[in-house]
Amino acid sequence: MNNPEAVEHIVASARAAWPHVPIFARARDPVQASRLHAAGAHFANPETIEAMLQLGDALLNRLGVPDETVRRAVDELRQSELRKSRATR
């Protein structure tokens, strides 16, 4: 959905109707991720973070950095961002 307010409303409504069901949502940015967590989402990952990680992966590969090194670096950054996102709850 491209309407942030509508997504937040749907998350809040789903949380109220089905409190036991995990809610996964796509957020445009860290601010919206925080609002989605506040509305009841279990997981709301900012799409900007994933795009940044994919670009970094492609750049490092193009520069000749070994695949395993790139994978580790990207995974570490992804986990760090997920921890930050969860900490905003």
The residue ranges of every structural domain in the chain are 4-87
Coil vs helix vs strand at 2: coil
Rounded distance, CA 63 to CA 30, Å? Answer: 29
pTM here is 0.69
Res 74 pLDDT > 80 = yes
Res 65 pLDDT > 80 = yes
Mean pLDDT across 38-44: 91
pLDDT level of residue 46 (50, 70, 90 thresholds): confident
Tokens of 79: 């986990």
Domain 4-87 indexed as CATH 3.40.50.150: no
Beta carbons of 43 and 24 less than 8 angstroms apart? yes
